[in-house]
Amino acid sequence: MKVVYADNNATTKVAPEVVEAMLPYFTEYYGNPSSMHSFGGQVAKKIDVARQQVAELVGADPAEVVFSSCGTESDNAAIWGILRANPRKRHIVTTRVEHPAVYNLGKYLVQCGYHVTELGVDSNGMLNLDELSDAIREDTAIVSIMYANNETGVIFPIEEIGQIVKGKGSILHTDAVQAVGKIPLNLSKSTIDLLTLSGHKLHAPKGVGALFVRKGITFAPFIIGGHQEKNRRGGTENVPSIIGLGRACELARNYINEESTKMKQLRDRLEEEILKKAPDARLNGHKMQRLPNTTNLSFEFVEGEAILLLLNEKGICASSGSACTSGSLEPSHVLRAMGVPFTAVHGSVRLSLSRYNTIEDVHYIIEQLPPIIRRLREISPYGSREMKMKEQAARVVAGM
Ligand code: PLP
């Protein structure tokens, strides 16, 4: 069956160039980079090349890049690393729309006796920066605010946020898992102190990530063990994946401008046509301040899971902000924080593109999705009642 993969914020295809770069590190160069012998030493040199490639994509110094096992680990390492290094500071500022890697850590920190301020967002998913400024206290160890939202693609004004955080003498961590590789970043001219990225969102394999830690930031390791990563992260390195991440960052850096322009064109076309063709559809999140590849749409009075199942039958992979896809019983905390009505949260669908999507993919989704929504509306007692009322109201307004 034809497969149209439009779930790239969940994970991406590993680029063939990345696979090719990784293979020799399973078969030929399997030495331990910490070994004294040159068989391991040559691998250590290749890790340094990967570190350079990652650093170049985000405008960092290679010495500021610490490899990890994933985005979740990097987020945990950033927050715990700063809390442990500053034990007298027991307050954290974050937002209500973070990925669970930060959001649920915040909940856990409260149980551990820390104070956590969660900033709300408006209906576009944007923060109020005055609220941020008011929230930062003398004992605020760290402010952790994501770069771009995984569900809506909304991009926060991270440099403005950084100015406020610096002005108040605190430390800024940003979860940039969804931003890195999709939009250009330059940490050499930035107020960000720590930044998380994850391999599998940018065409590297799953199970590898990195944390940028700015020089001069006092940071305690999260994973305590050997001396790897200059004592900042214990554990023998996942060499093939690190090599793959380096190559993926090199590819992203070379093509980021043309790829983001292409993705935006495809995404805009997709969004426009679906909003036009599917009744009672709405866009969730700021229309402009957004990643180029993401659209989050709500179809009122239908269930997101039902839409996904029917899309799946047609070979279309997407995801939903309603219960089951997130693996919990609760609908999306992001859409709820934005005040999206319950009926719309339940009928939300996220479509996220990558460099591998084509205009044919977009046409196929445009062809398949609106009839699915209409079909579901017809069989939904709630939906059809609402639709009939709306149709009646429209007829009254039109004087029919
Ligand atoms: N942060 C954001 C914004 C994400 O979208 C994700 C993954 O979806 C993560 C963190 C977690 O990354 P990983 O899957 O590498 O642990």
Query: pLDDT tens across 194-235, in order?
Result: 999 999 999 999 999 999 999 999 999 999 999 999 999 999
Question: Is 324 part of the annotated catalytic residue set?
Answer: yes
| Catalytic choice (70, 112, 317, 324) | 324
CATH number of 4-9+256-399: 3.90.1150.10
Domain ranges of the chain: 4-9+256-399, 16-253
**Ramachandran bin of 16, using left for φ above 0, alpha for ψ from -120 to 50, beta for the remaining angles:** alpha
Place of tokens 């399973």: 26
Tokens linked to 32 = 């331990």
Per-residue pLDDT tens over the stretch 75-100: 999 999 999 999 999 999 999 999 99
Of the chain, the percentage scoring pLDDT greater than 90 comes to: 88
Q: Is 198 in the pocket of ligand 1 (CB under 6 A)?
A: yes
Q: Is 331 in the pocket of ligand 1 (CB under 6 A)?
A: no
Question: Across the chain, what does the average pLDDT equal?
Answer: 94
Tokens linked to 229 = 């990563």
pLDDT at 394 over 90: no
Could you tell which of 103, 178, 350 is best to mutate to test the pocket of ligand 1, judged by most ligand atoms within 8 Å of the CB?
Answer: 178
Q: Is 101 in the pocket of ligand 1 (CB under 6 A)?
A: yes
CATH architecture of 16-253: 3-Layer(aba) Sandwich (3.40)
CA of 72 to the centre of ligand 1 (A): 6
- Name the closest-CA residue to atom 10, ligand 1: 71
Q: Is 178 in the pocket of ligand 1 (CB under 6 A)?
A: yes
Q: How many residues does the chain have?
A: 400
pLDDT at 4 over 70: yes
pLDDT at 397: 57
Could you tell which of 7, 152, 198 is best to mutate to test the pocket of ligand 1, judged by most ligand atoms within 8 Å of the CB?
Answer: 198
Rounded to two decimals, the pTM is 0.94
Question: Rounded mean pLDDT of 102-111?
Answer: 98
Q: Is 72 in the pocket of ligand 1 (CB under 6 A)?
A: yes
CA of 252 to the centre of ligand 1 (A): 18
- Name the closest-CA residue to atom 8, ligand 1: 10
Per-residue pLDDT tens over the stretch 322-345: 654 455 557 899 999 999 998 899
Q: Which atom of ligand 1 is nearest to the CA of 72?
A: 16
18, 254 Cβ separation under 8 angstroms: no
116, 109 Cβ separation under 8 angstroms: yes
Query: Residue 393: CA atoms inside 13 Å, Cβ hemisphere, count?
Result: 6
DSSP symbols for 320-351: ESSTGGGTSSS--HHHHHTT--HHHHHTEEEE
pLDDT at 378: 86
Question: Rounded mean pLDDT of 257-272?
Answer: 98
Q: Is 211 in the pocket of ligand 1 (CB under 6 A)?
A: no
Q: Is 162 in the pocket of ligand 1 (CB under 6 A)?
A: no
